[in-house]
Structure 1
Amino acid sequence: MIEVNDLHKSFGDAHILKGITTSFEKGKTNLIIGQSGSGKTVFLKCLLGLFDYEKGTISYDGKIISDLSPDAKRDLRAKIGMVFQGSALFDSMTIAENVMFPLRMFTKQSLSEMEDRVNVVLNRVNLPDAHKKMPSEASGGMQKRVAIARAIVNNPKYLFCDEPNSGLDPKTAIVIDNLIQEITDEFSITTVINSHDMNSVMEIGEKIVFLKNGFKEWEGSKETIFRTDNKAVTDFVYSSELFKKVRRMYQEENQ
C-alpha cells in the first residue's frame, strides 16, 4: 500500500498540491484523474520520488520515502515499474533489449537468466515473437505492451502508468486497460494510473482519486462515481459521452 498524508508541493509562488491525503491499495488499479492543471502529473512525480515536496509524507508499506537512506531508496526504486505516456522505448535497442534493460540495471542475473525472464514477460503481454523487432517496427499498441513488459520484468511491487492509453484507438485502449488489470490482479501489485480517459475509469477504476486545483476533490470507485452529487466530478466526467450513457443506464437499473 502507498499512503499519502497532507502532501504539499509548490514551484516558486505557485502552490500545486494543497494538502492531499489518500492511499493506494495493493492488488487494485488506483486511478488519478482530473483536468489539465489539476496537479495529477506533479502528484504522480512526487509519488515516484522525482519531485521533492515541502510538507507531508509518502510511505510505501509503512516506510516514509523521505526517511530512507540512498541505498534504501535505490532498493525501493528496483521494486517500481513504470509505463511512460509515450512508451519511452529506446529506439536503438531491440524490443528484447528494451525489456531486459531494468534487469541489467537492478539485478546481477546471468544473460541466460535475463533472457528467460524476457521470454516470460513478452509471452505474458502476447508478444512471443517480437524479440528482434525494433520499436519503429511496432504499432502503438505493441509499443505499449512492450512498455508494460519492461515495467513488470523485475517483478515490481508497485506499478505506475502515465496516460497508458494516450494516442491509442478505443479498441486497443481497452486491450491495454484489461492487460494492466490482469497483471495487477495476477501479481497483487499496487498499481497507480494517471489518466484523463473516462473509458479507463469505467473499465478498471477500482479506486479513483479526483484532483481539482491541487486539492483532492473526491475519491471513490467506478461504482460510486455514478452516484456522486459532487459537481466538480460530474462536470468533469460529463465531458465523456460514454459516461453519460452508462450513468443513465445505471440510474435506470437502480430506480
Structure 2
Amino acid sequence: MIEVKNLHKSFGDAHILKGISNTFEQGKTNLIIGQSGSGKSVFLKCLLGLYDYEEGSIEYNGEVFANLSEDKKRDMRAKIGMVFQGSALFDSLTIEENVMFPLRMFTKLKKDEMRERASIVLKRVNLEDAHKKMPSEASGGMQKRVAIARAIVNNPKYLFCDEPNSGLDPKTAIVIDNLIHEITEEYNITTVINTHDMNSVMEIGDSIMFLKDGLKAWEGSKKTIFKTDNKIVTDFVYSSNLFKKVREAVLKEQG
C-alpha cells in the first residue's frame, strides 16, 4: 500500500500539486486520470522519488520515503518496477539483457540465475522465444511486454506504469491492460498507472483518482465512474460519444 498525505509541489511560482491525499491499495490496479496539465506526471514522479516536494508525505507500507537513509532508499527502489511510456528499452542490448538489467543493478545473483529469472518472466508475458532478439526486431506490443517483464523481474512490491498503452492499437492495448491487471493480482503488487485511456479505465480501473488543476477532483472505480454526477469527471469521460452511450446503457440497466 502507498499512502499520500497532503502533497504539495511547485516549480517556482507555479503550484502544480495542491494538497493531494490518496491511498493506493495492494493487489489492485490504481489509475490516475486527468487532462494534460492536471499534474499526473509530476505526481507520479513524486511517488517515484524523482521530485522533492515542499509539503506532505509519501509512505510505502508505513515507511516515509523522504525520511529514509540513502541505503534504505536504494533498498526501496529495488522493490519498485517501472513501465515507461515509450518502453525505454536499451537498443544495444538483447531482450534478455534488457530484462536482466534491474537484476544487475540491485542483486548479486550469478549470471545463470539472472538468465533463469529473465526466462521465467519472459515466459509469463508470452515471449518465450524472444531472448536473443534485439528491441528493433520487436513490435510495439512486444516491446511493451518486454518492459513489463523487466519491471517484474526483481519481484517488486510496487509497479508504476506511465501511459502503458501509448502508441498501441486498441486490440494490443487491451492485451497490455489485461496483462498488467493479471500480474498485479498474481504478484499482489501495489500498481499505479498514469493514463488518459478511457478503455483502460473500463477494463482495469479497480481504483481511480481523477486530477484537475493539481487537485483530486474525484475518486472511485470503473463501476462508479459511470454513475457520478461530478461535472468535471463527466466532461472528461464523456467527451467521446461512445462513452456517453455506455453510460446511458449502464444507467438504463440499473433502472
Same fold (TM > 0.5): yes
Identity %: 78
Q: What displacement does 1:248 show? A: 1.5
Q: Give 1:130's aligned residue.
A: 130
Q: What displacement does 1:242 show? A: 3.2
Q: Give 1:51's aligned residue.
A: 51
Query: Structure 2: which 5+ runs fail to align?
Result: none
Q: Give 1:224's aligned residue.
A: 224
1:151 and 2:145 correspond: no
Q: What displacement does 1:154 show? A: 0.2
Counterpart secondary structure, 1:226 = coil
CA distance in 2, matches of 1:232, 1:35: 10
Q: Give 1:13's aligned residue.
A: 13
What's the CA shift string for 1:149-198, capped at 9, x where partnerless? 00000000000000000000000000000000000000100000000000
CA distance in 1, matches of 2:185, 2:132: 29
Deviates more, 1:136-145 or 1:233-242: 233-242
1:56 is matched by which residue type in structure 2? G
Q: What displacement does 1:249 show? A: 1.4
Query: Structure 1: which 5+ runs fail to align?
Result: none
Contact kept in structure 2, 1:198 and 1:240, CA below 8 Å: no
1:119 is matched by which residue type in structure 2? S
CA RMSD of aligned residues (A): 0.6
Q: Give 2:164's aligned residue.
A: 164
1:200 is matched by which residue type in structure 2? S
Summarize the alignment of residues 19-38 of structure 1 with structure 2, pairs less than 5 Å apart.
Answer: 19-38=19-38
Q: Give 2:239's aligned residue.
A: 239
1:175 and 2:175 correspond: yes
Q: What displacement does 1:84 show? A: 0.1
Q: Give 2:108's aligned residue.
A: 108
Q: Give 2:206's aligned residue.
A: 206
What's the CA shift string for 1:98-154, capped at 9, x where partnerless? 000000000000111101000000000000000011000100000000000000000
Q: Give 1:215's aligned residue.
A: 215
CA distance in 2, matches of 1:75, 1:241: 47
CA distance in 2, matches of 1:49, 1:23: 17
CA distance in 2, matches of 1:253, 1:66: 47
2:104 is matched by which residue type in structure 1? R
CA distance in 2, matches of 1:244, 1:203: 17
Q: What displacement does 1:2 show? A: 0.2
CA distance in 2, matches of 1:204, 1:245: 20
CA distance in 1, matches of 2:4, 2:34: 18
1:252 is matched by which residue type in structure 2? K
Deviates more, 1:234-243 or 1:141-150: 234-243
CA distance in 2, matches of 1:12, 1:210: 25
Q: What displacement does 1:246 show? A: 1.7
CA distance in 1, matches of 2:118, 2:42: 32
| TM-score calculated relative to the size of structure 2 | 0.99
| TM-score calculated relative to the size of structure 1 | 0.99
CA distance in 1, matches of 2:155, 2:7: 28
CA distance in 2, matches of 1:17, 1:228: 24
Q: What displacement does 1:14 show? A: 0.1
1:119 and 2:119 correspond: yes
1:9 is matched by which residue type in structure 2? K
Q: What displacement does 1:42 show? A: 0.2
Contact kept in structure 2, 1:199 and 1:242, CA below 8 Å: no
Q: What displacement does 1:241 show? A: 3.5
Q: What displacement does 1:245 show? A: 2.5
Q: What displacement does 1:240 show? A: 3.0
1:193 and 2:204 correspond: no
Q: Give 2:60's aligned residue.
A: 60
Q: Give 1:70's aligned residue.
A: 70
Q: Give 1:139's aligned residue.
A: 139
Q: What displacement does 1:247 show? A: 1.0
Q: What displacement does 1:252 show? A: 1.1
